[in-house]
A and B are shown apart, each in its own frame.
Chain A
């Protein structure tokens, strides 16, 4: 291409060649030649190209008329799946850019030749008349559509090229359009009764579209030249005065057409929608001309915005119009911010933002708050100034409705609150964090909510409010996450004070009672918390989860204590907060105001001894004692399960920061897991209770196995980068390589099948979360365990997700080159296990993945797998009759792969 454009002397040879290629019917040839033409024209120069003008225009016209480009500006559904025609679309867009280049080249020295060719072209003229004559677009919609898009795109491309071209196009077509639309010029004497006239008729659709397109190209021309700041003096050309002349009546025409179509339901809803779209678009374009170059006056601008606002606030049921209006308002807002237009911003603020804010804060709104909320948040996103007004409004609304909900527990208020919180989290907060322009967004929200909690005495809580609680926590967490250290400190301090004032702190400080019996007694005593205290604790927990590492914690010891107690009572949020505290605990001595008594090691020691006491310290004694007092055994095992979960989370915190005390925690978990193998000490004289005790012990052991998942899996709620956790690399890998030998020997030494299953379960949780490459490096040890785990876990329906994850690991082995080498020694076992899993009844995904694994097996050495062929085929023929379609399809593929193995080997 560069060779072609290298010198103007190639022009007599290159251009005819390119034009000839353009007339080819192959799409690729067309695209290529258009690209060449585009690049050649500027380098050959306007003078040389002059002789080709006619030919180039004819060729381009041909292309564009035959493959009408998609008009993005006017299409109702922009992405309406026209991927099939992507080739044609590409040609069309390429042709249009080429046309633009041509216009640019030819008009460079104000030459008129090419432009006149376009404007005076008979085809253009013809389609213009045919479009504008058609009263009703639905006589032949496809034809009108394509004509419209051809003409529209040619005209708008020409008009956006330069002010001069724009002037020519407007001169020729704009006034004619105005006449067709029956819009009088402002200074004519008919100007006054324009609106009354409009009310009685329907606007010509084609003319309307073209008019909007021309206005858009005028605006784009101004906007682009403003931003590149060239040729400013040329902007207010004749065409601009033309628009200015017509702007007032045009605006009122658009507006009244909107009103009519709003009232009169036209014969076809679709055509109505298109009319509405055009009118809204027209108004929007008129309002988005950059400030000083706007053809409309401030009054007209105000008028347009007010019209949109009346749609937004009105109770109209036309959701299409509502959405369009909101979109236009946001576009107008964005354009104001973009061109920094102060005058208009004042108007916009007054009419749009203030009104929406007023509506939000207003309490007795009978209508649904959802649309107002959506409008407010969308408009806030357009610019910082708007957002600064919207945020307090939404926060106030949240706090006031929270107060109300707490007092009366009304279902409707809660619904509103949930909506508000959703919008606040998903739009407002995420915008503020991304833009980074706001100082500590949401501080007042956090403080406000905590203040609420301080003042409320009795919280009307009901089960369905759990959802609300989760959202509140999430909002608080997000707010605190985005704050600086001292702001976080402030919020935490406030929460702490509220907690203290409410008398929620049951204990002085650590140490808690260390014996299990005393401890269980102790937690039992604390069992009766009011809802308010619980919520308060949850809020505090979510604040703690999102703290920075450097944020000083006011009274770490007390907080720790509190979370421990609540953890043992089974509140998961407390476990999260505790883990987060441990994860971010400063290593040095009291640099940041933390109480001196607590170093990291000391604290971990304390917690670990406490929890291990509960889990391992001669459990029989406590149970017997509790039985004597008439407490159910279940209470104790629940306590243990909560302790296990807590250990899991604390372990995760340590794992992430790479602390070596993690070893102790895993040892406790392992012991706990193996406990149920040993005989439980007999609890009481009657046998039934013993049996019960055993089952409960099994539950604890099972939760210990599941704790490994907590340890390794990624949580979204806490201990993530987002919430400022300390995360050191390769923690999982290190943990895996330390655990593998332990698990290996435990499995070998284990006698009870139940315990072995639990061990496999723990192994499975670990394996699923570790990167495949690490597993493959240890393949010799991993594969046998993996295969045994696959067969051990298929009995229990509870393990189906784990089983699926293990299968994915196996398929990873089968797909990896190195993994294949390792697994080939076990291929018989693998196939046998897979055949068993083909009929796994509990989960379709397991069956599907099994069959996919079997397909992958065929990639292994032919001689090793061939002996299994008949067996596999027999098993697969059952899968061909599976209940689920996906499984059947996979089975067919797999069957073929195995059946055709023989003939493949011949090739």
Chain B
């Protein structure tokens, strides 16, 4: 299957040097692979440490991410990966909120709604192809 890449030539940024010991959940997304490219989301500047909010006392986590191009159709998959990773890494007491950075995507509201609807997330994960894709993207994070 030869499909045209959505963003054929992404800009690759360096990975940020991290401190060794971190609080509960800031290291969850550092190595998630991009669905299209062999780079991690952090290297593509899709997520960064500054855009992760953790409120341990109120059990709340919010991740804001920026797709590489405005019409990126992978935004939902990226969001799904982030959500699954968080679901598997955080205790169930947390409320997880995943959003697109304002103005970074053409169908921002729709994607946001889709990502934070737990019925639709569950339904998406029932799809074996999608589940496999997510697991593949998450594989490098569990070394």
Question: Bound state CA distance, A900 and B139, in angstroms?
Answer: 9
Question: Bound state CA distance, A895 and B92, in angstroms?
Answer: 12
Query: Once the chains bind, are B131 and A880 in contact (CB under 8 Å)?
Result: no
Query: Once the chains bind, are A904 and B135 in contact (CB under 8 Å)?
Result: yes
- Given A892-B88, A893-B142, check contact A903 B131 (CB 8 Å): yes
- Point out the residues of chain B lying under 8 angstroms from A881, CB to CB: 91, 93
Question: Bound state CA distance, A881 and B25, in angstroms?
Answer: 11
What 0/1 readout, one digit per residue, does chain B (6-44) give for beta carbons within 8 Å of chain A? 000000000000000100100000000000000000000
Query: Once the chains bind, are B88 and A906 in contact (CB under 8 Å)?
Result: no
The minimal Cβ–Cβ distance linking A899 to chain B, given in whole angstroms, is: 6
Which of B89, B128, B131, B134 makes the CB contact (< 8 A) with A892? Answer: B89
- Point out the residues of chain B lying under 8 angstroms from A896, CB to CB: 88, 138, 141-142
Query: Once the chains bind, are B138 and A880 in contact (CB under 8 Å)?
Result: no
The minimal Cβ–Cβ distance linking A625 to chain B, given in whole angstroms, is: 62
The minimal Cβ–Cβ distance linking B25 to chain A, given in whole angstroms, is: 10
Question: Bound state CA distance, A888 and B88, in angstroms?
Answer: 11
How many residues of chain B are within 8 Å of chain A by beta carbon? 16
- Tell me, yes or no, whether A902 is within 8 Å of chain B by CB: yes
Query: Once the chains bind, are B88 and A899 in contact (CB under 8 Å)?
Result: yes
Question: Bound state CA distance, A904 and B90, in angstroms?
Answer: 22
- Point out the residues of chain A lying under 8 angstroms from B24, CB to CB: 888
Query: Once the chains bind, are B92 and A877 in contact (CB under 8 Å)?
Result: yes
Query: Once the chains bind, are A907 and B132 in contact (CB under 8 Å)?
Result: yes
- Tell me, yes or no, whether A443 is within 8 Å of chain B by CB: no
Query: Once the chains bind, are A906 and B132 in contact (CB under 8 Å)?
Result: yes
User: What bracket does the count of chain A residues touching chain B fall in?
Assistant: 10 to 19
Question: Bound state CA distance, A160 and B108, in angstroms?
Answer: 71
Query: Once the chains bind, are B89 and A900 in contact (CB under 8 Å)?
Result: no
Question: Bound state CA distance, A807 and B24, in angstroms?
Answer: 27
The minimal Cβ–Cβ distance linking B109 to chain A, given in whole angstroms, is: 30
What 0/1 readout, one digit per residue, does chain B (115-143) give for beta carbons within 8 Å of chain A? 00000000000001001101100100110
- Tell me, yes or no, whether A802 is within 8 Å of chain B by CB: no
- Point out the residues of chain A lying under 8 angstroms from B142, CB to CB: 892-893, 896-897
The minimal Cβ–Cβ distance linking B143 to chain A, given in whole angstroms, is: 9
- Tell me, yes or no, whether A484 is within 8 Å of chain B by CB: no
- Point out the residues of chain A lying under 8 angstroms from B141, CB to CB: 896
Most chain A Cβ neighbours within 10 Å, of B128, B134, B142? B142
Which of B91, B128, B131 makes the CB contact (< 8 A) with A877? Answer: B91
Question: Bound state CA distance, A566 and B134, in angstroms?
Answer: 69
Question: Bound state CA distance, A736 and B105, in angstroms?
Answer: 69
- Point out the residues of chain A lying under 8 angstroms from B91, CB to CB: 877-878, 880-881
Most chain A Cβ neighbours within 10 Å, of B93, B135, B141? B135
Question: Bound state CA distance, A893 and B142, in angstroms?
Answer: 6
Question: Bound state CA distance, A712 and B91, in angstroms?
Answer: 42
- Tell me, yes or no, whether A143 is within 8 Å of chain B by CB: no
Most chain B Cβ neighbours within 10 Å, of A880, A885, A895, A907? A880
The minimal Cβ–Cβ distance linking A685 to chain B, given in whole angstroms, is: 59
Most chain A Cβ neighbours within 10 Å, of B21, B89, B138? B89
Residue of A nearest to B87 (CB): A899
Question: Bound state CA distance, A903 and B88, in angstroms?
Answer: 15
Question: Bound state CA distance, A71 and B128, in angstroms?
Answer: 59
Which of A880, A893, A900, A907 makes the CB contact (< 8 A) with B90? Answer: A880
Which of B21, B134, B135 makes the CB contact (< 8 A) with A885? Answer: B21
Query: Once the chains bind, are B92 and A906 in contact (CB under 8 Å)?
Result: no
Residues of B within 8 A of A (CB): 21, 24, 88-93, 128, 131-132, 134-135, 138, 141-142
Q: A878-B91, A888-B24, A892-B89 are in contact. List 11 more A-B contacts (CB 8 A).
A: A880-B92, A892-B142, A893-B142, A895-B89, A896-B88, A896-B141, A896-B142, A902-B131, A903-B132, A903-B134, A906-B128
